[in-house]
A and B are shown apart, each in its own frame.
Chain A
Amino acid sequence: MDMLKLEILTPNGVIYNGNALSVTLPGEEGEFGVLAEHSSLTTLLEAGVIDIEKEDKSVESVLINWGVVQVDEKKVIVLVEGAVAIRGESEGAVAKALNNAKELIDSIKDNNPAIASVTARLEAAAQNLL
């Protein structure tokens, strides 16, 4: 299966830069998945979780609060304002990332119904890691 090049950038640096099999993004009108050779599009993302399916089929989750994505045939560039990657070597590190993620969710002001499901998704993602 073809790979796509994925870059996730925040004002504080690069969160993810590498190949991925697929990526699922929280678009304004619902989640959408992107595979390699996807046609070009630019759209906004809202608060949610980006799921990255990596080369070894493992899934990494990144929580974002706002973003814009530019997709073309070869690469996907995601620009986000605030993001927390749910990953870590140990249980403690994952728990810390989860806490950071929760803080980020709390900082999102508008009372979006999607937020509740985001929290649930987050915990599920963390469970998978442990």
Chain B
Amino acid sequence: MASLKDIQRQIKSVSNTQKTTRAMKLVSTAKLRRAEELAKRSRLYAAKMNQVLAEIAGRIKCNKVGGIDNRCFIDIENPKTIDIVFVTADKGLCGGFNIQTIKAVKKLLTEYKAKNVKVRLRGIGKKGIEFFKYNEIELYDSVADLSSKPDKERADAFIESSIEDFKNEKTDALYVVYNGYKNMITQELHVNKLLPVDASQFDCSEAEKSMLEVESQDEEKMLDSLVNKYAQYAIYYALIDSVAAEHSARMQAMDAATNNAKEMVKSLKVQFNKARQAAITTELIEIISGVESMK
């Protein structure tokens, strides 16, 4: 049995850890509120933006708007090279948050490898970058310190080359993988196909109801700049959604850690009391037997 001193030391160490995890939980809760607010406000905008783009793509698919030959809106059947952008956190200690994203990316990797598709990975966030580096999987492009502090300009700059590559037919699809915020206790993994714009949800009979004109002298130019804004915003939204999810995941993980520490202190205290009682009993027996022997 461990000595009294050892147990005492252990109790102290565990309760120190508990203090740290509790503090981290409080910090995450405060940060979560801000991040959640930001994500919530942007959600509607992101959804409408997707809707507008999907409608254009849908109408092109259903041949309601003829003569547009923009590859951003036309489904490519046999992609040869694809870009996958993934978003992970810069820091750990947030449960399975990062590993979920990494697993999804790995799954996509093996899936596309089986189909002989070349995959280029673009990583955002230290944790994901470190993981792939450790496993010697090459990243085409990566950026750190962006997922903890989402910044529109840096995000735009990061994704720009990916959009350009797609437009110049160097890649045939652009996916984004991130773990998004659902509510305080759940995160939701998103694997979104950014380019070409996904029109599979679009119902062609919808197109019959009203006619749509894309009003512009040079519609190509308009669609081009619209796609840019859409993709840039989609990445930025993925970042802020991911931050909110990260904080909620960390809050949960730290809450669980605090509870575990509490449990551990409790059981250590029982052990400590038992050991102390045992020591007292031994001492008493020694005294009594000493007295007995002197009689």
Interface residues of chain A, those whose CB is within 8 Å of chain B, are: 7, 9-14, 27-29, 39-44, 66, 68, 70, 72-73, 77, 79, 81
The answer to whether B222 has its CB under 8 Å from any CB of chain A is yes
Assess whether B225 is in contact with A79, with CB atoms less than 8 Å apart. no
B45 touches which one: A11, A70, A73 (CB < 8 A)? A11
Asked, given contacts A66-B229, A79-B48, whether A41 binds B41 with beta carbons under 8 Å apart, the answer is: no
A85 to chain B, nearest CB (A): 15
Q: Offer 26 A-B interface pairs, CB within 8 angstroms, sorted by A.
A: A9-B44, A9-B45, A11-B42, A11-B45, A11-B233, A12-B41, A13-B44, A27-B215, A28-B216, A39-B213, A40-B211, A41-B214, A41-B215, A42-B52, A42-B55, A42-B56, A42-B212, A42-B214, A42-B215, A44-B222, A68-B52, A68-B226, A68-B229, A79-B48, A79-B49, A79-B52
Interface majority SS (helix, strand, loop, mixed), chain A:
strand
The answer to whether A29 touches B45 (Cβ under 8 A) is no
A41 partner residues in chain B, CB cutoff 8 A? 212-215
Seen from chain B, the residues whose Cβ lies within 8 Å of a Cβ on chain A are: 41-42, 44-45, 48-49, 52, 55-56, 210-217, 222, 225-226, 229, 233, 236
With A44-B225, A44-B226 as known contacts, state yes or no: A73 contacts B214, CB within 8 Å.
no
B44 and A14 contacting across the interface, CB-CB below 8 Å: yes
Docked Cα-Cα span, A13 to B222, in Å, equals 24
